[in-house]
Amino acid sequence: MESHVVPDSAKISPFLVYYVIISLQVGIGVLSYQRILAKQAGHDGWISIVIIGIVIHIIMWMMFKMAETAEGDIISVHQYVIGNMAGKVVSFLLVFYFMLYIIIVLLNFIEVIQIWMFPDLSTFWFSLALMILSTYLVFGGFRTVVGSSFFGLVLPAYLVLTFVFTFRYTDFTQLLPIAEHSITDLLKGSYYMSLTVVGFEILLFVYPFIKEPKKSKKWAHLAVLTTTVFYTLLALISFAYFSEAQLQKTIWGTLSMWQIVQLPFVERFEYIGVANWILILLPNIVISLWVASRLLKRTTKLRQRKGTILISVIVVIVVKFFDTGQEIQALNDLTEKIIFGFAFVYIPLLFFATMITKRVKKR
């Protein structure tokens, strides 16, 4: 198994794992996840979030076990289980996983801007500008990448307070009766939440970059708990604010709630909300770009800077080909299946394979 030593100067403190995971788990899905939940699990959709949150905690525990066993990231885990060359081949495929994630974030955010603010916004020029900025941040190294996730979480945090404006119009009796829907409906809701809450699997890629990684366990689990509570509370407010029928027809529930925010200095607060969302989405793109370029470097020996530029160029070209909402939705559906398959099926299977390999090697 190939060892890859990370210098201490490139490592981050354990508590920063909290910001890395949250910045990836809170993304474009926050603006629209309520409608999908309402369709699948009705006013019990918040229970689906709690279920997926518990599942993520279990998978987080599995990921730490794997990383400790293989003493490294997911490439080390693959090499530990299936050998050096095969491990590299499988790990190389994950470059496309993160490229797809960047593409889906860009396409969905550009669609929101075009519908809510600037109908004539150029998809090509906007994605090019965002990818140039992301490339610049990746060139700064992993600590700069983590810095973007810290500021991407702290600076727009005030947006949470804006949901207080909805309380005048909420009716929490709409959440009753609780647990009215079948377990199948609730699990369907959890499945469709997977694209929204994904990002926790980043731990398997950044593990070697954490100082005293065992100390980061509590921060990683706290991050998952924070996002689960956030999504659950926002869902409860949304189900109390909209009727179930309304919510099933409201594409962007969060943005629609911002429409009632009235402040003396701004008339259309949802514009500020969308503009601020760039700060939240930038770490999604930057971290994914860093991971994809690092995977490329580890599996092909291509220098990370060249890999970053190559991936950015491919992303901008691919984004240009998606023109209609139907095409974006079709890609969303495909991405949802791939992400669910990787995070909730492949990682647990890899965990069991790692534990079996560990037993065999001991014997």
What are 154-208's pLDDT values in tens digits?
Answer: 999 999 998 999 999 999 988 888 888 899 999 999 998 988 999 999 999 999 9
Inside any domain, residue 359: no
Inside any domain, residue 2: no
- Domain with 164 in it: 13-352
Winning range, highest mean pLDDT, from 13-27, 243-257, 270-284: 13-27
Judge whether residue 3 has pLDDT over 80: no
> Rounded distance, CA 335 to CA 65, Å?
27
Inside any domain, residue 86: yes
Q: How confident is the model at residue 4 (pLDDT cuts 50, 70, 90)?
A: low
In this prediction, residue 1 carries a pLDDT of 45
Inside any domain, residue 358: no
Inside any domain, residue 6: no
Span 42-64, pLDDT tens digits: 889 999 999 999 999 999 999 99
> Rounded distance, CA 142 to CA 96, Å?
20
| Count of other CB atoms within 10 angstroms of residue 17 | 27
Answer left, alpha or beta for residue 301, where phi above 0 means left and psi between -120 and 50 means alpha.
left
In this prediction, residue 261 carries a pLDDT of 85
Inside any domain, residue 233: yes
Inside any domain, residue 91: yes
Inside any domain, residue 68: yes
Q: State the total domains in the chain.
A: 1
Domain of 298: which CATH number?
1.20.1740.10
pTM of the model: 0.94
- Residue 223's alpha-carbon distances to 26, 28, 125, 199, 263, in angstroms, are 11, 18, 34, 11, 31
Q: With beta carbons less than 8 A apart as the criterion, state whether 204 and 1 touch.
A: no
Average pLDDT, the chain: 92
